[in-house]
A and B are shown apart, each in its own frame.
Chain A
Amino acid sequence: MSSQEDGEISSPEITAIGISFGNSNSSIAYTSGEGKAEVIANEEGDRQIPSVLSYIEGEEYHGTQAKSQLVRNSRNTIAYFRDYLGKDFDSIDPTPCHASAHPQKHESTIAFSVQDKESEAQNIVTVSEITTRHIRRLASSASDFLGKSVNAAVITVPTNVTDEQREALSEAAKAAGVDVLQMISEPTAAVLAYDARPEAILKDKIIVVADLGGTRSDMAVVASRGGVYSILSTSHDYETAGVQLDQVLIDHFAKEFIKKNKTDPRENERSLAKLKLEAEATKKALSLGGNASCSVESLADGIDFSSTINRTRYELLAGKVFGAFTRLIEEAVRKADLDILDVDEVILSGGTSHTPKISQNLQRLFPPTTRILSPSTLPTAIDPSSLSARGAAIQASLVQEFEKEDIEQSTHPMVTVTPHLRNAIGVMVVSEDVQKGLFSALIEKETAVPCRRTGLFAVPREGGDVVVKICEGLRDIKVSKKEKPKTNGKPASDDSDLDSDEDEDGDEEIREKVWKIGAVLAEAAVKGVKKGGKVEVTIKVEADLAVQVEAREAGGKGGVRGSLGKARVAENGSAGSG
């Protein structure tokens, strides 16, 4: 900033990239000239760069090379450190680091003790220092690829990071010569990555972003309203993630090994590390093909191990973990006070999302109208592991031209905190049941104000005078039982105790989304509409919740205007029960 205070606007040219900094893997992306986000591969050709650093005799290894050091040089290899940044020692979970350098308390922060110089001495390297080194490596890879020095970035963070964590990350990046323009949350980055595609249609929708990572899974329910995103609920799980799937394979192969050789490879640290690396590779292979092999040279006691597994077997073994993923998503939807039927899209993000079974389970859970955006269910889906990096790159291209202070100011809560509509607003149209009318939503609920929507409505065949009745709509879930053809013809009440379980499974419930009409807001009359004409209704909700209504014949002049007074903004104390 100091350079800009000299009185001159001209500052060094900013080259900004998007960084997705994950616990297990990181990825970097940039926005090409055509505005398309592209993922950058590092020198080794990896687009998924393991967030691992390893030191051998003063030399630093990064990414895949460092990860392979987990077998031979685990004590000088640092992995899974992202979540430790900006935290104190008491509040971290050291489990993922069990097979690498262990975190330890160092003053008020967390550090690793590694031999990162040529000398034999153990050096204390703090988490922020490691982060700086990691980001420096990422930035240099990007610089090499782009041919110009990268000096700014938009970094994605989970939704539950604290201000201290943000601060620590920002400092660490700055130390690496990367100015953090903005930190955006991972789920919104994923949504943005999809919405920034040229073929994307701007639509109001509810999106569930399931970020299934290596060591944690984060769920977020996002309301996308005219391209403005609001997170309705989040949930985080540290017990259900990619490593649990690896563990299933590790256990499977270990058992197989024990059967033949009477030694448990899991008991030896190095054997376990080898098997772990190989199991992860096998898991990835199983996401693509129906069969995968796992072979480890000298797994334990100098015995080589080689085995194959097919996908069905794997899916059976990991069934419980897959079920847990589905439950996580269900819970997040429930926490947002929504129903499964309200969800328009599910975006699967993170490396674990490649697993076909997870998306298949989701397809079964959600109605057919819900789009599951994952590679195995949608051919046009974006690679889930690069979603947040792409989103970050797009955001970087949007904000890199602005002054940093302006970005800070415009992302200030004074700007971002906005009233969201509690109920949908819509217009009554004629339905088959003439008496009742049908609600058709123009503005969905959870839309941030100010907002404005226009709808074109048909009129009766012969034209004439019509009434535009504007009201609030409440979404309701109608549950009806599907009539099951009785095969045995016995009455349902008969010995219900015995076959009640079967009945619950057999009786299919039909759940439908229906609108209940809420408060009527206004009525407007549009007179003398031509035969075959249309009525254009525009509803505008101002920032202070005043409503303006405009109705006129499409293409006609004048029309009816009216407004409603302001409404109250509710005060909310806390989130719903967890």
Chain B
Amino acid sequence: MAAVQFSLPLPVLPQDWVGEKDFKAIGQLSSATQRNIEPVGPHFLAHARRVSKLPLINRNIFAATNSDLQQKRHQRTFSEDDRIQAQENVKKVEDDDVGEISEPEDPLMLQRDAKDWKGQDHYAVLGLTKHRYKATETQIKRAHRKKVLRHHPDKKAAAGSSEDDSFFKCIQKATEILLDPVKRRQFDSVDEAADVEPPSKKQAQKGSFFKLWNPVFVAEGRFSKTQPVPRLGDDKSKKEEVEEFYNFWYNFDSWRSFEYQDEDVPDDNENRDQKRHVERKNNNARKKKKTEDTTRLRQLVDDCLAGDERIKRFKKEERAGKDKKRLEKEAAEKKEKEDAQRAAEEKERLRKEAEEASKAEKAEGKKAKEAAKNAVKKNKRVLKSSVKDANYLLPAGQEAGAKRVDQVLNDVEAVMAKIDPEEMAALAGKLGGMKVAEEVAKVWSEEAKRLVEVGKVKEGELKVIGS
């Protein structure tokens, strides 16, 4: 073959490209298919020469001796075994001719009258009951051929039996209807043998829901204008899938029609009015049947829905979901209440504690006061006794007169009235244990002086101590 021209350019060699001797083997060819090539045409001869190296010698040109040829040929002769071996792996292009009729024929069916073709099961006649509406055109044609091979009246007549061709006519009619897409659809519409009866209540109780209902819907699904039809699914189907399934079936768009069951078929020869009358009658009957069918399907879906555990489960789940929310809400409310209560309790507790604390404080304060009082009394005693022990601030040996005693004690009283307990305590500390009169007097005068300085006592108010 001549070289093919390609106008688009080859890519530029990348900079980092490396290959041994400018060539890099990367992959391998995919496996090949064995096929027969047709031994026809000049190019095949060339191929045969290449492959077999056969001495395809033109005997008019080569004047080789016959023995020469024979010898050459002998070395190259292919045997029957070679043929079998060579053909073994070849991809076949012909279909196997299935000669046998797979389904047994009902003797009653064989006696059918072709005139009653409306009542005949065309699929059964052709031996296609396993396939029915699923049978392909090829399958129908093959089935027909198989039946013809067996039942052709000419064959029977040639074999000497009677020329009864009624079943053959049935076969022809069946094929005529099934190979015509319009007529086939009309027959499929009323092909009750392809229906799967919905399970009865008893069955439904016993058997598995999906096993029982799935074939019913698969069979009903054949009437759907929209394909594929959603499947019933199983226990694990999601809620959306189940919902889609029921939605689909409640909005089922069916191509089913009932022309096939028309009681009267208008004839070309009848008059127009008669024809119209029959047509109207037929149309009404069809409509009625269609409505009935729609109702039947609806009832069927209702029944299925009623028995569908999944729906119950989904409802339960939904309810469980709602309950959960409610419980959560309740729990939240309860918690809030509890929190409030706890808060109140806490408050109460705190309040009580504070009360108690204050009480305790009060008690403490009383004690301290008492103690302070006691301390003040004690200190007063110390102070009083200190002047008494110091001989009323008179030098030793001098007898203090009553007047002096009175004066000193008054002073002391006045000081004690003027100073607060701390100062008194400090003073008592200074005076405590002091016996020497001069020292005591000095402390007192210092105290008097301090008081005057502070402004608590007026100059001269303390007659004895301050002097």
Contacts and interface: CB of A to CB of B under 8 A. Distances in A.
A1 interface: no
Nearest to A521: B27
B39 A227 contact: no
Interface string A453-469: 11111111100111111
Contacts of A574: 92, 96
Nearest to B140: A239
Interface in B26-40: 26-40
B109 interface: no
Interface in B1-55: 1-14, 17, 19, 21-45, 47-52, 54-55
Contacts of B25: 521-522, 562-564
Contacts of B41: 188, 192, 195-196, 227-229, 394-395, 398
Given A9-B59, A422-B31, A184 B89 contact: no
Interface string B132-148: 00000110011011001
A507 interface: no
Given A184-B38, A545-B29, A453 B1 contact: yes
Which residue, of A195, A259, A409, A460, has the highest number of chain B Cβ atoms within 10 A?
A: A409
Given A102-B154, A455-B4, A578 B95 contact: yes
B439 interface: no
Contacts of B92: 572, 574-575
Given A104-B158, A572-B90, A457 B10 contact: yes
A460 B11 CA distance: 7
Contacts of B175: 239
Contact of B23 (A159, A230, A430, A549): A549
Contacts of A167: none
A341 to B, nearest CB: 20
B233 interface: no
A417 B34 contact: yes
B82 interface: yes
B138 A331 contact: yes
A458 B91 contact: no
Interface string B215-255: 00000000001100000000000000000000000010100
B93 interface: yes
A291 to B, nearest CB: 25
A476 to B, nearest CB: 15
Given A230-B38, A541-B29, A570-B31, A458 B7 contact: yes
Interface in A1-16: 4, 7-9
B98 to A, nearest CB: 9
A455 B7 CA distance: 11
A176 B264 CA distance: 60
B148 A95 contact: yes
Contacts of B28: 519, 521, 564-565, 567
Given A410-B54, A428-B11, A466-B13, A92 B149 contact: yes
A560 B23 contact: yes
B50 to A, nearest CB: 7
Interface string A555-578: 000001111110111111011001
Given A188-B40, A403-B59, A94 B155 contact: yes
Interface in B48-105: 48-52, 54-60, 63-66, 69, 73, 76-78, 82-83, 86-87, 89-97, 99
Interface in A407-462: 409-423, 425, 427-431, 437-438, 440, 442, 446, 448-450, 453-461
A416 B35 CA distance: 8
Contact of B9 (A97, A195, A459): A459
B8 A185 contact: no
Contacts of A518: 30
| Chain A contact residues, majority secondary structure | mixed
B290 interface: no
Interface in B139-196: 141-142, 144-145, 148-150, 152, 154-155, 157-159, 175, 179-180
Interface residues of B, number: 100
Contact of A327 (B137, B144, B159, B251): B137
Contacts of A427: 6, 10
Contacts of B97: 160
Contacts of B44: 227-229
Given A430-B11, A459-B10, A561 B23 contact: yes
A171 B433 CA distance: 165
Contact of B179 (A239, A428, A430, A567): A239
B30 A403 contact: no
Nearest to B59: A9
Contacts of B17: 467, 523, 525
Interface string A183-200: 011001100100110000
A39 interface: no
A231 B36 contact: yes
A410 to B, nearest CB: 4
Contact of A430 (B3, B10, B29, B91): B10
A318 to B, nearest CB: 13
A57 B398 CA distance: 203
B8 A458 contact: yes
A450 B145 CA distance: 41
Given A238-B145, A564-B28, A455 B6 contact: yes
B40 A189 contact: yes
Contacts of A23: none
Interface in A197-247: 202, 204, 222, 226-235, 237-239
Interface string A483-503: 000000000000001001100
Nearest to A529: B10
A164 interface: no
Contacts of B158: 94, 102-105
A395 B40 contact: yes
Nearest to B43: A227
Contacts of B54: 406, 409-410, 415
A521 B29 contact: yes
Contact of B154 (A98, A412, A414, A571): A98
B78 A522 contact: no
Interface string A75-101: 000000000000001111111011000
Contacts of B150: 90
A524 interface: yes
A455 B69 CA distance: 40
A92 B149 CA distance: 6
Contacts of B26: 520-523
A182 interface: yes
B32 A230 contact: no
A247 to B, nearest CB: 11
Interface string B96-140: 110100000000000000000000000000000000000001100
Contact of A456 (B3, B91, B93, B99): B3
5 contacts: A9-B64, A409-B78, A410-B49, A413-B82, A564-B28
Given A93-B149, A399-B45, 17 more contacts: A104-B158, A188-B41, A226-B43, A401-B58, A406-B56, A412-B82, A422-B30, A427-B10, A430-B9, A454-B3, A456-B6, A465-B12, A466-B10, A467-B11, A524-B22, A562-B24, A569-B31
Interface of B: 1-14, 17, 19, 21-45, 47-52, 54-60, 63-66, 69, 73, 76-78, 82-83, 86-87, 89-97, 99, 137-138, 141-142, 144-145, 148-150, 152, 154-155, 157-159, 175, 179-180, 225-226, 251, 253, 268
Interface of A: 4, 7-9, 89-95, 97-98, 102-105, 159-160, 182, 184-185, 188-189, 192, 195-196, 202, 204, 222, 226-235, 237-239, 259, 320, 324, 327, 331, 391, 394-395, 398-399, 401-403, 405-406, 409-423, 425, 427-431, 437-438, 440, 442, 446, 448-450, 453-461, 464-469, 471-472, 497, 500-501, 518-527, 535-536, 541, 543, 545, 547, 549, 560-565, 567-572, 574-575, 578
A-B pairs, 10 with minimum CB distance: A227-B43, A562-B23, A419-B32, A104-B158, A411-B39, A465-B13, A413-B86, A567-B29, A572-B91, A410-B48
